[in-house]
Amino acid sequence: MTKVLTATALLLAAGAAHAQKFEGLADTPQMGWNSWNKFGCEINEQLIRETADAMVALGMKEAGYRYINIDDCWHGQRDKDGTIQADPARFPSGIKALADYVHARGLKLGLYSDAGATTCGGRPGSRGHEYQDARTYAAWGVDYVKYDWCDTKGLNAEGAYTTMRDALRAAGRPILLSICEWGDNKPWDWARDVGHSWRTTGDIYACWDCEVSLGSWSTFGVMKIVDKSLALRKYAGPGHWNDLDMLEVGNGLTPEEDRSHFSLWAMLASPLISGNDLRKMPEAVRKVLTNKDVIAVNQDKLGVQALRMLTDGPLEVWIKPLAGDDWAVLFLNRGEQALERSYDWHKQPLSDDLSKRSADLKKAAYRWTDLWQRNTGDTARPLTLKLAPHSVTMLRLTPRGAL
């Protein structure tokens, strides 16, 4: 008996040592919707069904969005065997029925849990139940797990997230693992083979450049998160992305800020997870979230996170090499006053040592397309910039040949 138990233990240890995340689930940054930014704990199965319907009807599925993610507070209690249940009042049909509904519309279902004993909203977490929960999620047809970091005193982050990775692998259903430990334990150093994306900061807040203190932690505006993520670009790539948190487009920013926020997340190769009420979305917000040209920059298969190439007062110039020798170039006015500039393409070559890509615009001409205004032009002549406060001009450059 001892020999049998020892052999079994060795087999289990060998399996754990060779466990890995599911590949091919995030070759480009994941796109979807999440309930938290708009609804917090005020969620139910009707909201999820209506959101899935809206994602299809409003063209978001066509634009590339796939995941309908239920965040915190879906949980009920664990049964006598420790199996997690959905809240019977809010989700009386159960999660599997919701997954079936979402799948029938060509979409995927995401679910939230936490590495601790309780979630940030005080519901049952997965600590001590990782393999059991993973099997339950697989049986329900879940496609995405956002795994949070509340109530984790005494836990090692790398170990805790690796345990859930291994549990999901053992359950057998391909499930994307979104690591949400707020960058506290530098996941970019260890999470490449653990999860498909990792949060770089604390939670986002629907403001341009603010920080809101909540005592022991803070939430951050768009530009605060961008600035905190500048040094992390070398860690991002196909299958392992820096996650700048869910989008606040449509949640109270100005129209210019909505476009800038979306453009920056696209340039920085962050997951595009909308966080607004899709059922009541104004047409202007829908147009931002479904701009296929901007989305194409985010979903570019080269998978390089943008570089802030130039800062000149309130003007920032960001560049992102794209597949096929194209470039995305973003001009940002992060200041409080309107800005007018003439930008001479010949003075500053496009150069990125991370991707080993460069373009000398004195020697080669590129045609550009404005991805928001649809204007066109080329780099043979200076670009006239007129930028409102907190606004962007975002261009895609395509080679024309030698000058």
Catalytically active residues, by annotation: 148, 203
Give the DSSP H or E segment for 312: strand 307-312
Residue 87 has a CB neighbour count (10 Å cut-off) of: 17
Classify 204 as helix, strand or coil: strand
Measure the CA–CA gap between 146 and 70, rounded to whole angstroms.
Answer: 9
Measure the CA–CA gap between 162 and 324, rounded to whole angstroms.
Answer: 36
> Is 315 in contact with 362 (CB distance < 8 Å)?
no
4: exposed, middle or buried (C-beta count within 10 Å: 0-12, 13-18, 19+)? exposed
Distance between alpha carbon 94 and the CA centroid of its chain, in Å? 26
Order of all β-strands in the sheet with 376-378? 307-312, 315-321, 327-333, 392-402, 364-370, 376-378
Residue 390 has a CB neighbour count (10 Å cut-off) of: 24
> Is 327 in contact with 314 (CB distance < 8 Å)?
no
Across 186-246, where does the E strand assignment appear? 197-199, 211-213, 218-220, 241-243
CA distances, 153 to each of 4, 116, 218, 239 (Å):
36, 8, 19, 29
Beta bridge partners of 329: 319, 395
State the DSSP code for 73.
Answer: T
Across 71-174, where does the E strand assignment appear? 75-78, 84-86, 108-114, 144-148
Classify 170 as helix, strand or coil: helix
